[in-house]
Structure 1
Amino acid sequence: MEHNQEANRKRNVIIAIPTPAFADGLKKHFENEGLNVLEVCVVVDHLLEKLHELKSEPSIKLDGIVISSGIATKLSDKRLEFLADVIEKIRDEFSEASIIFLSDESQGHPLLAELVSMGIYNIFVKSAQKSEPLNIKQLIRCINQPMLYSEVKKYRDYDTGIQWRRSFVNGGQSITINIESQGKDKGPKRPSPAPDPPESPTSDVRESPAPPAPVRVQEQVDDKKHNDQQESKKSKQPTIPNILEEELEDEVLWQLPPIKPKVIVRDRIVGKSVIAVAGVDVGVGTTHASILMANYLAGRGYSVKVIECSGNKEFVYIERAYEGKNVDTQRTDEFEINGVTYVKADSDLDMAYHVTSEHSHIILDMGCYEQSEYTEEFHRAGKQFLVAPGGEWKQYTIKRFIQTNRSVDQSRWSFLIPLVDKQTISDIKGENEDISAFKLPFHPDPFRSQSDTDEEFDQLFEGGRTVRLRRAGKAAAFFAAGLLVVGFIVFFIYR
């Protein structure tokens, strides 16, 4: 009976991928295949918190974790050795869960060799997927039936020129694992190089000079017999069509086609868009700019959510001004004005929850960049706007901000300068080479549409669509007026 219940139980998985759009797509694919996604984590700290929570819930069994090599990245630091330690901890505490690793690092990287030494065989290397595309069925199969050692042993040979921890043994050496007790940790221990004795008394790893075949860490049966059984099962499985057919570009990790039809708005394919608005200084108007942007997008048919990440708690006063002074602002965490959802400041930003909502655009009002606790979310956003002062005596803050943050990627930055003219924008661009800068016109009520502001946002979001339509409208009006004049002249001549 228990065996039947286990077979019919939904498999529980956690997705730990730093790209929200891809993680959301993968979640939908898993759920479409009947799996239960317990959590979507876009930062490693969130993943560790969720795993700690599961340790106190023995009734919930974790069957699989899909983890990307980019989950531990902080700004420009990949922190791969830290990631290896995290995965080893997961391997020890959730030994029955299958770990599926999606790697940005190519074959030959020490990280992959260390994963294989832990007994983690479900490894998918991004560069290899160009010739053998990944599909969702493969990922699900890895949860129930891990890949064979023979499929990943090539990763044990790594480039010694890549800087890595000294304690890691050469991945090309053969090892055997002796499990002394059923009651101890089921996860593998890291191997120690021969002929030296193990560094720790708890390590069960010894070097074997010439074993007939490497022993799989996760099994306690004869390796050859086990592999034959696995190969037999694998040969009986039908061929599964690929769902990842597009080419994988260098700057993009794994991509999944959507399950639902894409939404078409103004003949444009629209997907989830995360927009971050931060200030180069305190009090430059990030909230005002965020509201302007939200109402502009909502007016064009998009579903928009604005999240207060500045910690200023100004959204409470906005709700009170809109709903009335007697409204209970603590009753809910969010409210709606003119079709835009506003999420009030909270001590814990759950981005995974927000990016999986039905909204097509998520705007993060981050306040001053230097004081923000969510700079990682700023650099992860698809569009990154920086509000800066335009006064001649304050323009130096733009150059200072650029120079102070030279270590981060600035290619997606766009500066928004309130209350300036075109000449000022040109001057700012001249002083700061290769930056993108736009003016924000005087716009006292951000909840009302204003034509000059719409034109500026058109340049940002739609390539000047309103400007072109307005010019086309004026041309059509002049043409119609001309026809009317010619008609009157003809009428008076031939009447």
Structure 2
Amino acid sequence: MVSNEPRRVIIGSQNTEFAAKLKKFVEQHEYKVSDIVVMAEHLIEAIEMSYINDEPIYALIITTDLSYKMNDKRLEFLSDCLLTIRSKHSEIKFAVLSNESEGHPFLSELVGIGIYNIFVKASANNSIDVRELIKSFEFPKEFAEVSKYREYNKDILWRKIDRGASELTLKSERVFPAPKIERQIEESVPRTDVQKTLSESQNNVKSKEEKKRPERELIIDDEMEDYRIPFPSIKEKIVVKDRIIGSVVIGITGVYSGVGVTHVSVAMASFLARQGNSVALVECNESSDFKYIELAHEGIKSDGIAVGTKNFKIDGVNYFKSDQYELDLISLLSSEYTYIILDLGFYDTTKFFEEFLRADIQIVVGSGIEWKQRHLERFLSITNEYEQQKRWNIVLPLTDSQVIADVKNNLKIGNVFKLPYQPDPFDEDIETDETIENILSTAKVLTNIKKVKPLIKLIIGGCVFLIVLLILILLLKS
């Protein structure tokens, strides 16, 4: 029995012009493009929703620009996404169009997880033959064709720990039905004839393998000049309604334990929430500080009380406690949060330092005290291989302008900020708010922030009061 189920394809590319052109070609060949995804974070969700709706996915066409978020390449994250999909849905066909050339670790990981349909951009003017791309679904490339990608240049900046791709943690209770095609075939065979059918299939395996599979006839569209389209170009970011697609992720780490990462994280989250933003603050360390924050907020002073909640809310900020040292970032990124702040704690003990490198805004908390500045120097020294370092924002609590100037000069770094004394990070503080706003401004992200500061409002109000007072005095004298 032949199924009439359409063969659904998802295209993942930030270059929407390329994706639209590719969609037009693909749908000429009895495929249906069910979705075009522009962010790697949304890829897994799109596939899961298709299976929930009983619409299994036949193939994925992915371009490596899907990994971009702002100016960051996150190819490691894209590799993890593809491994997760392949492990959960082995029936899906893959085709990856890569702007990375031979010798890149990303290509090596693709081969390692069994994705062989790799199409590498050979030159600036290179194009892709859509017929070859579609043909790879039915006749995938052999291992011998892509084994050359296993060797990679170890000088290319890659994972902090060379462990290869790893599956992402998906915390979902959804049950995904089996692909409809398989179910229809199974239902078309009577149960009493199953053994007979299997036996006949096994006896005919050899003869079937010897038969050449017929190629599908390509439907030619006279309006198309040919089947070659330019390789997708990289677009650094996608902007919709003056805001970068998806949540803005802020990663905050410290150069030693106890330097004040959680204090800075809470202060920043509280500030952003006061500006009307939807904020999630995630505990990405083993300190259990969020447990005690919740207890203090509830007025409970006993350390022995166990709190079973996984998250709680204070002053508009959603706090997510560390859950057995796992991070369900996919679900958070798929939500409606404007900002997601990652409290990573001490960089040397956090399991999620890679998420710090992927964050849109990266903040390093150090100390301005002279004998503790060595921790910051050491951190910058051992991380100097990361190209993101030039964008890091160094925050030094309880220091003065002279120390900031000295640190900038000694360490040759630009974005260094002093954080004033603030006993309670939940409270509004004019100087702290100004520092946070300066950090966000330096990072060049569009935010829902009130640009007129309270101090400026106070000055303007005072000036208006003085003018009115002078006018009254002049009127009385006259």
What TM-score range do you get, normalising by the shorter chain? 0.5 to 0.7
Kindly provide the amino acid, as one letter, of the partner of residue 218 in structure 2.
Answer: E
| CA deviation after TM superposition for structure 1 residue 412, in Å | 2.1
Assess, with a 3 A threshold, how the Cα gap between structure 1 residues 377 and 127 changes in structure 2: closer, same or farther.
Answer: farther
User: Separation in 1 of the partners of 2:359 and 2:408?
Assistant: 23
Residue of structure 2 equivalent to 1:337: 314
Distance across 1 between alignment mates of 2:223 and 2:46: 20
Query: C-alpha distance in 1, partners of 2:352/2:430?
Result: 33
Contact 2:252 2:344 in 1 (8 A): yes
| Alignment match, 1:377 | 355
Alignment of 1:120-269 (within 5 A): 120-121=116-117, 123=118, 146=135, 222=212, 226=215, 229-232=216-219, 235=221, 248-249=234-235, 252=236, 262=241
Matched, 1:317 2:292: yes
State how 1:30-69 maps to structure 2 within 5 Å: 35-36=50-51, 63-65=58-60
8 Å contact 1:13–1:36 — kept in the other structure?
no
Which of these residues, 445, 457, 461, is aligned with residue 440 of structure 2? 461
2:12–2:66 contact (8 Å) kept in structure 1: no
The count of corresponding residues between Structure 1 and Structure 2 is 380
Give the corresponding residue for 2:100. 105
Q: Deviations over 1:243-291 (max 9, x none)?
A: x9x9624xx4xx6676xxx4x7xxx778511111111011101111110
- The answer to whether structure 1 residue 291 and structure 2 residue 258 are counterparts is no
1:385 partner SS: strand
Please give the secondary structure, in 1, of the residue aligned with 2:281: strand
Q: Residue 464 of structure 2 aligns to a residue in which SS? A: helix
Contact 2:42 2:334 in 1 (8 A): no
Change (3 A) 1:355 1:458: same
> Amino acid of the residue matched to residue 390 of structure 1?
G
Q: How does 1:347-362 map to 2 (within 5 A)?
A: 347=324, 348-362=326-340
Q: Distance in 1 between matches of 2:426 and 2:115?
A: 57
The aligned residue for residue 419 of structure 1 is: 398
How far, CA to CA, are the matches of 1:133 and 1:469 in structure 2?
53
- What residue number does 2:472 align with? 488
Distance in 2 of aligned mates of 1:310 and 1:61: 37
Q: State the alpha-carbon separation in 2 of the partners of residues 326 and 12 from structure 1.
A: 55
Q: Secondary structure at the match of 2:343?
A: strand
Match of 2:221, as an amino acid? S
Question: What residue is the counterpart of 1:446 in the other structure?
Answer: 425
Q: 2:281 aligns with which of 292, 300, 306?
A: 306
Post-superposition Cα deviations, 1:135-168, rounded to whole Å, max 9, x if no partner, equal: xxx9xxx8xx655899999x979999x8689xxx
1:441 corresponds to which letter in structure 2? Answer: P
| CA distance in structure 1 between the aligned counterparts of 2:103 and 2:292, rounded to whole angstroms | 56
**SS of the residue 1:394 aligns to:** helix
Q: Is the Cα contact below 8 Å between 1:458 and 1:466 reproduced in 2?
A: no
Show CA shifts across 1:389-416 (max 9, x none). Answer: 1211111221121112222221221111
Counterpart contact for 1:418–1:441, Cα < 8 Å = yes
- Work out the CA distance in 2 between the residues paired with 1:257 and 1:28: 21
Distance 1:392 1:163, change over 3 A: closer
Identify the range of structure 1 (459-468 vs 286-295) with the bigger mean alpha-carbon deviation.
459-468
Q: Provide the secondary structure at the position in 1 that maps to 2:323.
A: coil
Corresponding position of 1:41: none
CA RMSD of aligned residues (A): 5.5
Letter in 1 for 2:349: Q
Residue type at the aligned position of 1:445:
D
Q: Contact between 1:335 and 1:343, CA under 8 Å: does it hold in 2?
A: yes
Amino acid at match of 2:344: M
How far the C-alpha of 1:64 sits from its partner, in A, is 3.6
Aligned to 1:195: none
Would you say the 8 A contact 1:270–1:360 is kept in 2?
Answer: no
Aligned partner of 1:198 in structure 2 is none
Amino acid at match of 1:235: D
Maintained 8 Å contact 2:266/2:426: yes
Q: Name the structure 2 match of 1:22.
A: 39
Equivalent residue for 2:170?
Answer: none
Give the direction of change, closer, same or farther, for the CA distance of 1:334–1:475 in structure 2 (3 Å limit).
Answer: closer
Counterpart CA distance in 1 for 2:465 and 2:439 is 33
Q: Given residue 300 of structure 1, which amino acid in structure 2 is its aligned partner?
A: Q
How far apart, CA to CA, are the structure 1 residues paired with 2:52 and 2:66? 17
8 Å contact from structure 1 (residues 11, 35) kept in 2: no
> SS of the residue aligned with 1:371?
coil
CA distance in 1, matches of 2:90, 2:146: 25
1:438, distance to aligned residue in structure 2 (A): 0.7
Distance 1:300 1:291, change over 3 A: same
Deviations 1:347-367 (A, max 9, x none): 221221221122111111111
**Does the aligned pair in 1 maintain the 2:12–2:39 contact within 8 Å?**
no
Q: CA deviation at 1:475?
A: 5.8
Contact 1:11 1:36 in 2 (8 A): no
Residues of 2 paired with 1:434 and 1:354: CA distance? Answer: 32
Contact 1:65–1:100 (8 Å) recurs in 2: yes
Return the alpha-carbon distance in structure 2 between the equivalents of residues 24 and 322 of structure 1: 33
> Do the aligned residues in 1 keep the contact of 2:262 with 2:343 (CA within 8 Å)?
yes
SS at match of 2:364: strand
- Give the equivalent residue in structure 2 for 1:429: 408
Shift of 1:103: 1.5
- CA gap 1:376/1:67 in 2 versus in 1, 3 angstroms: farther
Unaligned runs of 5+ in 1: 39-58, 166-180, 187-203, 205-218
Cα distance between partner residues in 2 of 1:37 and 1:431: 57
Q: Distance in 2 between matches of 1:320 and 1:157?
A: 55
Q: Within 1, Cα distance between the matches of 2:245 and 2:74?
A: 32
User: % of aligned pairs identical?
Assistant: 28
Output the TM-score relative to the length of structure 2: 0.62
Task: Give the Å deviation of 1:21.
Answer: 8.0
| Higher RCO (CA 8 Å, separation ≥ 6 residues) | 2
Contact 2:253–2:363 (Cα < 8 Å) also in 1? yes
Rounded to whole Å, the distance in 2 between the matches of 1:282 and 1:102 is 43
